[in-house]
Amino acid sequence: MDVAAKKIFDRIKGGNYDPVYVLQGEETYYIDLISNYIELNALSDSEKGFNQVIVYGKDVNVATLLTHAKRYPMMAERQVVIVKEAQDIQDLQKDTGAKLLLDYLTRPLPSTILVLCHKHKSFDKRRELGKKIDQLTVSATFKKPYENQLGEFIQQYAKEKGYKIEDSAVRILAEYVGNDLSRLANEIDKVLIGVESKEVITTEKVMSQVGISKEYNIFELQKALIRKDQLQVIKIVNYLEANSKKNPIIPLVAFLYSFFSKLLVAHSTNDRSERALVTALKISPFAAKDYSAALQRYSLVNVIDGIGLLKQADLKLKGVDVGSESEGQILKELVFRLMM
C-alpha cells in the first residue's frame, strides 16, 4: 500500500478522524479507498441519515460546501461531508472560492469530517491555497505507480484477500492491465471469483479471466519479436487478426511502443545487468530478462527505426494516411519490418 495511504488508514481504522482530508493526484484508487472507508465507518448506520452528506464538485460552489461543513451534527458526535470530484467545484479555481475554503481550513469545525476527493490532478502549489493545504489538513497526493511497483501491489492485494499468486500471473496482470490501480484491483477481483480461499492463483486462471490466449497473446508476440522468430510471429499475428475484438490492435501497438521506448533508454545505460535495468527502466524484475535479451538482438539504430515504425502504424490505425490497408495488414507489415 502507498505509504501516505497506509498512514491515514492506520489512524482512521483506530477510530481517529481528523477535521479535513484532502486526497489528490493522478492515481484515484487510494482516493476512493480512503473516502469509501470513511463513508462506511465514520458513522453508524443510524447516524448517517442526518449527519452524512455526499456531493459532487460540479453541483456545488465553495459557499454551499461550507454551509454543509459548518453545520453541527444531530444526535451524533460528528458529521461527515464528502466531496467527490472536488476538482470540479464551481469556483475553486477563483480567488473568491479559494479564499473561502482557505479561511475554513484555518479554523475547521472539529465535529465535521470534511473529505475533498480532488482527482486526476493536485492543487496548484503556486497559489496560496495550494501552498498551505498540506499544513492545514491531512493531505495526500497519489501518483501513478511505476511498472516495477505493480508486482508488489498485486501480490499484496491478493494476500489481503487470502490468496497467493504465481509470479508469471503477476507479470501478466501488470503488463496487460497497466498502472491503473482501480482497474487492476477490479481484474484481480474477477480472477478471484470461483477460486477457493488460500488457493494459488495460476497463470492459466488469470489468462482465462482476462481473455488472453495462453499461446497467442501480446506477451508471446513480444518474446517472438525479441527472438526474431518469424514462424511464431506469423502464427500469433494471424490469431490476433482473427480475434481482433478480444485483441484490439491499437493497444497492442501501444504496448510494443512502450517496450521499444524503454529499450531505447536501456541502450543509453552503462550497466545493463538485469538488476540495473529494473532500476533504470522502472520495470518489474520479471520483465528484465526480455529487455536483456532484446539488447543483444536490437541495435540502437534498430530500436530508433522500430519506434518510428510503431508511430507510423499507430497513425494508420487511427485513420491517418491509411489507404486501403486493413488493421491486420498494418500489423503484419509492422512486425515484419520490426524484425528486419
**Are 206 and 224 in the same domain?**
no
Say what the pLDDT of residue 266 is: 94
User: Domain end: 109, 141, 173, which one?
Assistant: 141
> With the C-alpha atoms ordered 165, 171, 173, 178, is the resulting torsion angle positive or negative?
positive
Q: Rounded to an integer, what distance in angstroms lies between the CA atom of residue 135 and that of residue 124?
A: 14
Per-residue pLDDT tens over the stretch 78-124: 999 999 999 999 899 899 999 999 999 999 999 999 999 999 999 99
**Are 178 and 244 in the same domain?**
no
Confidence check: pLDDT of 323 > 80: no
Provide the CATH number for the domain around residue 11: 3.40.50.300
Name 264's Cβ contacts closer than 8 Å, sequence gap at least 6: 300, 303, 304, 307
Q: Rounded to an integer, what distance in angstroms lies between the CA atom of residue 39 and that of residue 313?
A: 46
State the total domains in the chain. Answer: 3
Say what the pLDDT of residue 297 is: 93
> Do residues 200 and 166 touch, judged by C-beta distance below 8 A?
yes
Domain span at residue 160 reads: 147-210
Provide the CATH number for the domain around residue 192: 1.10.8.60
Per-residue pLDDT tens over the stretch 168-222: 888 888 877 878 899 889 888 888 887 776 778 888 888 877 767 777 888 889 9
User: Domain end: 120, 141, 162, which one?
Assistant: 141
Query: Of residues 10 and 324, which shows the higher confidence score?
Result: 10
Q: Which residues pair with 20 in a beta bridge?
A: 114
Per-residue pLDDT tens over the stretch 214-259: 778 888 899 999 999 999 999 999 988 888 777 788 888 988 999 9
**Are 9 and 137 in the same domain?**
yes
For residue 245, the 8-state DSSP code is T
Q: Rounded to an integer, what distance in angstroms lies between the CA atom of residue 149 and that of residue 230?
A: 33
Q: Which residues pair with 21 in a beta bridge?
A: 115, 138
pTM of the predicted structure, to 2 decimals: 0.74
Name 102's Cβ contacts closer than 8 Å, sequence gap at least 6: 128, 129, 132, 136
**Are 164 and 51 in the same domain?**
no
Confidence check: pLDDT of 8 > 80: yes
Q: Rounded to an integer, what distance in angstroms lies between the CA atom of residue 142 and that of residue 129?
A: 18
- Nearest CA to 27 out of 150, 119, 139, 149 is that of 119
Say what the pLDDT of residue 108 is: 96
- The kind and range of the H/E element at 114 are strand 112-119
Task: Beginning with the edge strand found earlier in the chain, give each strand of the sheet holding 112-119 in spatial order.
Answer: 52-56, 79-84, 112-119, 20-25, 138-141
What rounded mean pLDDT belongs to the chain?
Answer: 90
Q: In this predicted structure, which of 3-7, 63-67, 184-188, 205-209 has the lowest mean pLDDT? A: 205-209
Q: Which residues of 201-236 are buried (b: 16+ CB within 10 A; e: fewer)?
A: bebebbbebbebeeebbbbbbbbbbbeeeeebbebb
Residue 9, judged by CB atoms within 10 A of its CB (0-12, 13-18, 19+), counts as middle
Rg (CA), the chain: 25
